[in-house]
Chains A and B, each alone.
Chain A
Amino acid sequence: MDINQKYTPQSWPDHPETATLEGKNKFVGFWLLLAAETVTFASLFATYLALKDKGPSGMEFSAAGLFELPLVFAMTMILLTSSLTSVYAMHHMKNYNFKAMQAWLAITVLLGLTFLGLEIYEFNHYVHIGFGYTNSAFSSAFFTLVGTHGAHVLFGLSWFIALMLRNAKRGLNMYNAPKFYLASLYWHFIDVVWVFIFTVVYLMGVIG
């Protein structure tokens, strides 16, 4: 792999993320990491379901009374859209169009930051009305599940930003193409987890 090799959209491979052995290794390894992440979140979900609405006797909070869908729905739409924009970014990556890729990634990052801001607002609201981390088993399980997802969003955003800044001047090559691809794969995974959080925590929570 020669990092200085210049490509044209014609000579750029169809799947640059798996065109080198390093890329292939990263590709398989990252999917395996996502399997481990899936088990991690499965454990968190199971714990949340076991501890939902559980607290000290006389606890005033319950999922049905606490969660409000409009804000969470907006967050869901924003995150889903960011997944779509990252797909566009990867489309341009595969077409060797670096500028378009960077632009779509920037949009993805902005959407992700908006999501994160709304989540911080939401958490702040809960803490404000007394539903803090140490309030009950329910609050511990809720904040740990949703907060772990939020930490993943933060990590994904940092990853995107680091990659965009690092490669801003030199453009795409066979060394960084797999990195962009994996960051976007990670972003999709975060999105899928959120779909489950929206369903299991918020929708099922509001239903009661």
Chain B
Amino acid sequence: MSSIAQKKGFGATIWDFMTTVDHKKIAILYLMSGGFFFLVGGIEAMLIRIQLVKAGNDFLSAGTFNEVITMHGTTMIFLASMPILLAFMNAVMPLQIGARDVAFPFLNSLGFWLFFFGGIFLNLSWFMGGAPDAGWTNYASLALASEGHGIDFYTLGLTISGFGTLIAGINFLVTIINMRAPGMTYMRMPLFTWTTFVASALILLAFPPLTVGLFFMVFDRLFGASFFAVEMGGNTIIWEHLFWIFGHPEVYILILPAFGIFSEIFAIFSRKRLFGYTALVFATILIGFYGFMVWAHHMFTVGLGPTANAVFALATMIIAVPTGIKIFNWLLTIWGGNISFSVPMIYAVAFIPTFVAGGVTGVMQAIAPLDYQLHDSYFIVAHFHYVIVGGVVLAILAGTHLYWPKMFGTMLSEKLGKWTFWFFFLGFHLTFFIQHFLGLMGMPRRVYTFGADQGWDLFNAISSSGAILMATGVIILLVNVVMTIVKNERIGNDPWGDGRTLEWAIPSPPPFYNFAQTPLVRGLDTYWIEKMDGNKKGMIFAEPLGDIHMPNGSIIPFVISLGMFIASFGALYFMDGKPWALAVLIGGLTLMFASMLVRSLKDDLGFHITKAELLEDAKGGNTDGH
């Protein structure tokens, strides 16, 4: 933060981040670890495309290829996309509603460390006897037959990180319900806050079925249960239902915050109020609602019967309507605006046609009879990469440029940002557009190779060459990040010049208490209203300057997560009959519950920043707090 913070020793900085409960620092942790896993998942993607670059390639063995595709999907969804979005939610949402912190700072930290240890646990599988290899969907019939411990790393790792995500969801919901500044009514909340709100509600209701499914899988594989074992009366379709009751809302958990980021960008860089704010809000809620009613469209070919297929086909087509409403609102926001094509805006404009293409192929698959043809083909691979990369990843890249100055106080280079964009965007379409046709030509997904006589060589080679362009784009982004950190040119409150919401009215990065005085909100786009009124301070205040109550940092979240991490190794090796496994399981759980007990029994009342310290701060003193 301030110069004083940077003079701290390396160890002290690490300890600070391990114990922090400050939502802005937790955001940085999420961004760094999510970014790391994004690179890991990206390398896995490159391995896939190298293997498929020509017919009959033997770069990867069939078994390794299965591990790589499984870990690519799992890593990108659970360990890269979601955490990076959680980073933006943590960094920006409390500022947007004028709050000093989230509702549960301690749980915020716990959520991060659970995600982090879950991700590490999952990836340790590479070094401990093989990664999961049943696809990211981990269908039970495949997963139960998988040898080694790969699947157990998947189930236990995702259980741990899933708890973390659930905690984050509850935390954001309560923050938005209870912690809004005076005047910040629901219908004055910025769109990114709204999408965070709805996505958090989806997390709340979608993650428990996944956790239940994962537990079933753990019990089946490690403790002799038979939920999915057909010969024992089990039913493998139960996994598919539980997985997709989670899995489809998960798609919206990812895309709604992406929509939120783009909504902010369209308004800022068109210098216009969002067109149809109310419609955008209700479309968001509708998407969240319908998101729970479409899961079986992933299972059309299972044989649920024509009635079930028809109902879910219809529901799936309906969900395209609110999404279409959003697209038109964004277009009309740009319409007649005073547009500035900064990097975030370029991403936003590129997102619209890309995402619409992904949406259209989605509606094609909603037609159940056609889906029988498309199911498990490369058409599906092309479709979900168009929505996930064309929607979520473009939003992540746009959000990184948009919010980097607010999170770190420096600007990423516009020039390098544009290079990243063009490499990534062109590379993306080169990689995935042609995969639609590979699918229609009959290439199944998840095959590790193909024959020279099948006629898929050229298109696969084109697809792989696109992947190289995407990787180049990401490398340029990394160069950009390093250069920006090295240059360290500090910027002011509102680096884009056209910020509309409260986060742009305070310093970049904000002081650890965010707002010395709680702002009073007078309408949508608070900061814009004050700017238009000529208010130099950027906001008016709801309270006089006074003492501020802040939460204490704590190492306990780290220790709780570590306990779960250790216990998972015990559960994992229990099946092998290792004598120490049970001891490790019990030891880990004891550590976890003991630290929870300490948290419950030891009073933690936080501390106060006095008015004198705040005044000192305003004069440019220490903004680090401790």
A40 touches B231 (CB 8 A): no
A21 touches B178 (CB 8 A): yes
Given known A35-B205, A36-B208, contact A47–B225 (CB-CB < 8 A): no
B224 touches A1 (CB 8 A): no
Write out the residue numbers on chain A whose beta carbons fall within 8 Å of the beta carbon of B215.
Answer: 144
* CB contact between B209 and one of A28, A37, A39, A54 (< 8 Å): that residue: A39
User: In angstroms, how far is the closest chain A Cβ from the Cβ of B299?
Assistant: 15
B226 touches A47 (CB 8 A): no
Interface-forming stretch among A9-17, A96-104, A115-123, A130-138? A130-138
A140 touches B601 (CB 8 A): no
Interface residues in A4-41 (C-beta closer than 8 Å to B): 21, 24-25, 28-29, 32-33, 35-37, 39-40
B204 touches A32 (CB 8 A): yes
Write out the residue numbers on chain B whose beta carbons fall within 8 Å of the beta carbon of A40.
Answer: 208-209, 211-212
Write out the residue numbers on chain A whose beta carbons fall within 8 Å of the beta carbon of B241.
Answer: 46
Whether A127 is near chain B, meaning CB under 8 Å from some CB there, is no
Write out the residue numbers on chain B whose beta carbons fall within 8 Å of the beta carbon of A3.
Answer: 603, 605
* CB contact between A144 and one of B170, B174, B225, B235 (< 8 Å): that residue: B225
Whether B45 is near chain A, meaning CB under 8 Å from some CB there, is no
Interface residues in A50-86 (C-beta closer than 8 Å to B): 50-51, 54-56, 59
Interface residues in B31-81 (C-beta closer than 8 Å to A): none
* CB contact between A136 and one of B171, B223, B232, B245 (< 8 Å): that residue: B232
B226 touches A43 (CB 8 A): no
A56 touches B231 (CB 8 A): yes
Given known A29-B174, A55-B232, contact A1–B605 (CB-CB < 8 A): yes
- The residue of chain B having its C-beta at the shortest distance from the C-beta of A24 within the complex is B178
B227 touches A137 (CB 8 A): yes
B189-217, CB under 8 A of A: which get 1 and which 0? Answer: 00000000000000011011101110110
* CB contact between B170 and one of A29, A59, A140, A141 (< 8 Å): that residue: A29
B103 touches A25 (CB 8 A): yes
A140 touches B227 (CB 8 A): yes
Write out the residue numbers on chain A whose beta carbons fall within 8 Å of the beta carbon of B234.
Answer: 51, 54, 137, 140
Given known A134-B225, A162-B601, contact A36–B235 (CB-CB < 8 A): no
Write out the residue numbers on chain A whose beta carbons fall within 8 Å of the beta carbon of B103.
Answer: 25, 28-29
Write out the residue numbers on chain B whose beta carbons fall within 8 Å of the beta carbon of A47.
Answer: 212, 216, 227, 238, 242
In Å, the complex CA distance between A138 and B597 comes to 35
User: In angstroms, how far is the closest chain B Cβ from the Cβ of A149?
Assistant: 13
In Å, the complex CA distance between A36 and B216 comes to 18
Given known A29-B170, A39-B205, contact A44–B212 (CB-CB < 8 A): yes
* CB contact between A133 and one of B223, B231, B245 (< 8 Å): that residue: B223
Write out the residue numbers on chain B whose beta carbons fall within 8 Å of the beta carbon of A175.
Answer: 603, 605
In Å, the complex CA distance between A54 and B226 comes to 10
Most chain A Cβ neighbours within 10 Å, of B104, B178, B232, B245:
B232
In Å, the complex CA distance between A35 and B103 comes to 18
A25 touches B174 (CB 8 A): yes
Whether B483 is near chain A, meaning CB under 8 Å from some CB there, is no
Write out the residue numbers on chain A whose beta carbons fall within 8 Å of the beta carbon of B171.
Answer: 29
Given known A43-B242, A144-B216, A166-B601, contact A32–B235 (CB-CB < 8 A): no
Whether B229 is near chain A, meaning CB under 8 Å from some CB there, is yes
Chain A interface residue count, Cβ-Cβ cutoff 8 angstroms: 38
User: In angstroms, how far is the closest chain B Cβ from the Cβ of A199?
Assistant: 20
A25 touches B205 (CB 8 A): no
B603 touches A136 (CB 8 A): no
- The residue of chain B having its C-beta at the shortest distance from the C-beta of A43 within the complex is B212
A56 touches B232 (CB 8 A): yes
Write out the residue numbers on chain A whose beta carbons fall within 8 Å of the beta carbon of B85.
Answer: none
In Å, the complex CA distance between A159 and B593 comes to 11
B173 touches A32 (CB 8 A): yes
Whether B219 is near chain A, meaning CB under 8 Å from some CB there, is yes
Interface residues in B222-254 (C-beta closer than 8 Å to A): 223-227, 229, 231-235, 238, 241-242, 245
B104 touches A25 (CB 8 A): yes
In Å, the complex CA distance between A47 and B215 comes to 12
Write out the residue numbers on chain A whose beta carbons fall within 8 Å of the beta carbon of B173.
Answer: 28-29, 32
- The residue of chain B having its C-beta at the shortest distance from the C-beta of A163 within the complex is B600
Interface residues in B513-531 (C-beta closer than 8 Å to A): none
Write out the residue numbers on chain A whose beta carbons fall within 8 Å of the beta carbon of B601.
Answer: 162, 166
User: In angstroms, how far is the closest chain A Cβ from the Cβ of B222?
Assistant: 12
User: In angstroms, how far is the closest chain A Cβ from the Cβ of B486?
Assistant: 41
In Å, the complex CA distance between A21 and B242 comes to 36
A182-201, CB under 8 A of B: which get 1 and which 0? Answer: 00000000000000000000
Whether B411 is near chain A, meaning CB under 8 Å from some CB there, is no
In Å, the complex CA distance between A44 and B219 comes to 14
In Å, the complex CA distance between A44 and B208 comes to 10
In Å, the complex CA distance between A89 and B311 comes to 49
Write out the residue numbers on chain A whose beta carbons fall within 8 Å of the beta carbon of B597.
Answer: 162
A144 touches B204 (CB 8 A): no
User: In angstroms, how far is the closest chain A Cβ from the Cβ of B463?
Assistant: 38
User: In angstroms, how far is the closest chain A Cβ from the Cβ of B120?
Assistant: 25
A51 touches B231 (CB 8 A): no
B212 touches A134 (CB 8 A): no
A43 touches B232 (CB 8 A): no
Whether B177 is near chain A, meaning CB under 8 Å from some CB there, is yes
- The residue of chain A having its C-beta at the shortest distance from the C-beta of B166 within the complex is A36
Interface residues in A105-161 (C-beta closer than 8 Å to B): 133-134, 136-138, 140-141, 144, 159
B225 touches A51 (CB 8 A): no
Write out the residue numbers on chain A whose beta carbons fall within 8 Å of the beta carbon of B170.
Answer: 29, 32-33, 36
User: In angstroms, how far is the closest chain A Cβ from the Cβ of B557?
Assistant: 16
Write out the residue numbers on chain A whose beta carbons fall within 8 Å of the beta carbon of B177.
Answer: 28
A39 touches B208 (CB 8 A): yes
- The residue of chain A having its C-beta at the shortest distance from the C-beta of B207 within the complex is A36
B219 touches A137 (CB 8 A): no
A25 touches B232 (CB 8 A): no
Given known A24-B178, A133-B223, contact A54–B233 (CB-CB < 8 A): yes
B226 touches A136 (CB 8 A): yes
In Å, the complex CA distance between A90 and B322 comes to 45
12 contacts between A and B (CB under 8 A): A21-B178, A29-B103, A37-B208, A43-B209, A43-B213, A47-B212, A134-B225, A137-B235, A144-B225, A159-B600, A162-B601, A175-B605
Where the two chains meet, the residues of B that have a C-beta atom closer than 8 Å to any C-beta of A are 103-104, 166, 170-171, 173-174, 177-179, 204-205, 207-209, 211-213, 215-216, 219-220, 223-227, 229, 231-235, 238, 241-242, 245, 597, 600-601, 603, 605
Closest 4 CB pairs of A and B: A54-B233, A137-B233, A140-B225, A134-B224
Given contact pairs A36-B170, A55-B233, A162-B597, enumerate 12 new A-B contacts (beta carbons under 8 Å). A25-B104, A25-B174, A25-B178, A28-B173, A29-B170, A40-B212, A43-B208, A43-B242, A47-B238, A137-B226, A140-B220, A159-B600
